[in-house]
Chain A
Amino acid sequence: MTDTCDFTLAELLIVAASEAWRGNGEVLASGLGVIPRLGASLAKLTHSPELLMTDSEAFLVEEPIPLGPRGDYVPKYSGCMSFERVFECVWGGRRHAMIGPTQVDRWGQTNLSAVGDYRQPKIAMLGVRGLPGNSINHINSFFIPSHNKRVFVAGEVDMVSGVGFKAERWEQGVRRDLMDIRRVVTDLCVMDFEGPDRAVRVRSLHPGVTFEEVQDNTGFPLLKADDMGETAHPTAEQLAIIRRLDPHDLRASALKGNPPGIRAATPA
């Protein structure tokens, strides 16, 4: 590596997100939002061509569709995937979605419904959407563009919309073996739930970020993965693919201020 930073943080996160889908087999890869969608697309075009993807509307495609206005690009459909079929896919478990919940707790439970008191919320959000069914039926990962304690809350999330690893939440006789949570990609680090009793670990830190900074911005205790290192930098090949998939540079607006991939050193 040279000292020159020639990639943005968004591009680093796209590459980190793409790793979530490595080795999943033939499943529907659903990346919701600009960075997760580019991550899924990059995964399909590099290490995991077996992934299924849609046009983010109603059709399957074998060639991931570039984001935004398409110019003279014509999508090549390989099948159809209505909402009804997506639900059937969900219930059969053949999907890995990366979503952006409003709150995440130490058990991997997520909230997309309401912040504050449920009957009179401080913020009424989208609603639980498909989170209850997705989370109990197939693999999920999370993308969090701003890593802070309002997202990674100290206790439980305000309204448990997606299930997690908290044993007390699971009634006896309910199947827990169909769900899994893989990666949490944030603007500071990549985390997973592979600690003892599915505790949250930091897998890798983005360039210039310290473990202490991540811990200070998280409402619950974190562990360090044994091999915790720096998040992999994008390669020239990956950057070329990302630029082709995102010709209008929507990724530049995905993170506040579009920071560089390697953070400038903090003055002493």
Chain B
Amino acid sequence: MGVASFDRATEQKRAWNAAAAVPDPEVPCVTVADLGMLRSVEIEDDVAIARVSPTYSGCPATLAIEMAIEVALREAGFEPRIERVLSPAWTTDWITEEGREKLRDFGIAPPAQASNSVRALFGETVVACPHCGSTETEKISEFGSTACKALYRCTSCSEPFDYFKCI
């Protein structure tokens, strides 16, 4: 059954929904759409083309995410193709409002809006604790459990937490 026999816009929407539901393997509370990694899904010549922007050059999850999107599209009945899009470069500004909320619920402080200026080398960012909301927090380490996170501690409630780094 060729996808061409369906209404194109409806099919495209269905393909988007299938791909958009794929969770991030390292932060499974958010989907690739929440993170802004899934740039577009289009159907051309019966092939569903998903364009994906990696978060970090060396993120080991990139390949796993691309394969998961491929599987999700195939399971939804599409012939998938994944295209990696480097430009424009992914930025934490692309994380949706819903994605930021989900990160907070999961105990990860979402990135401060408006990514860091490359010149602001030693500028400190104010990060609110995802547990108690206090802004009395301190950085423990610039690098956390994954490439995309830093480690913080709340001095009000004493809980350590991950901060989704701003790039």
**A, B from the same assembly:** no
